[in-house]
Amino acid sequence: MNFLDLVKKRYSVREFLSKTIELEKIDYILETVRLAPSAVNKQPWKLFFVTEKCLLQKLSDCYSREWFKTAPACFVVCGNHAEAWSRFDGKDHCDVDISIAVEHLVLAAAEQGLGTCWVCNFDAKKCSEVMNLSEEWEPIALIPIGYATTEIVPEKKRKSLNEIFVQVR
């Protein structure tokens, strides 16, 4: 499969089978995250892989959507702003670096036949408590992961190229 086909294959899965994810697939996905680029190679991230049902239930309290409870596992992706590279104007690139790492994660998962959904609209404070995170680690994204209940990829609605691309000469 070429890269464009992989990008087309990946979508936000919102209903998962209860099937266990093979550890080899998780190891593969994590290696792609480990190799993801970051500003000045700071890699200001930490990923927690949650499969324990009680903890998954507590995480679902941070994001109250019923479909979230169907995922057999979830990555809690955290960033450390103090570790991240900061531009001369003070803007740290933690969120940018995390975004790159998570995109590697979701694309690798799709390649491995797994579905994901990038969740940012959750209670980060409650998530920190559930995960017992130290103060320097901010939960930035929840990535539920598993096998989708369907293999039919929904049509993606995207802006046209002329709406998002400007050639400057």
Structural domain that includes position 98: 3-164
d(CA 100, CA 102): 6
d(CA 75, CA 141): 8
Does the pLDDT at position 93 exceed 90? yes
Contact 10, 107 (CB under 8 A): yes
Range 64-90 average pLDDT: 97
Ranges of H-type helices in 12-93: 23-34, 53-60
**Pairing of β 115-116 and β 45-50:** unpaired
Q: Within a domain: residue 142? A: yes
Please write the tens of the pLDDT for every residue from 119-148.
999 999 999 999 999 999 999 999 999 999
Does the pLDDT at position 106 exceed 90? yes
Q: Within a domain: residue 121? A: yes
Does the pLDDT at position 95 exceed 90? yes
Q: Within a domain: residue 152? A: yes
Does the pLDDT at position 155 exceed 90? no
Q: How many domains does the chain have?
A: 1
d(CA 20, CA 64): 23
52 strand-pairing partners: none
Contact 16, 158 (CB under 8 A): no
Q: Within a domain: residue 125? A: yes
Q: Within a domain: residue 169? A: no
Please write the tens of the pLDDT for every residue from 29-55.
999 999 999 999 999 999 999 999 999
79 strand-pairing partners: 45, 138
Range 2-29 average pLDDT: 96
- pLDDT value of position 161: 92
pLDDT band, very low/low/confident/very high, at 103 (cuts 50, 70, 90): very high
CATH number where 105 lies: 3.40.109.10
pLDDT band, very low/low/confident/very high, at 11 (cuts 50, 70, 90): very high
Q: Within a domain: residue 17? A: yes
Ranges of H-type helices in 10-93: 23-34, 53-60
Place of tokens 């103060």: 135
Range 150-167 average pLDDT: 90
For the entire predicted model, the pTM comes to 0.95
Contact 143, 119 (CB under 8 A): yes
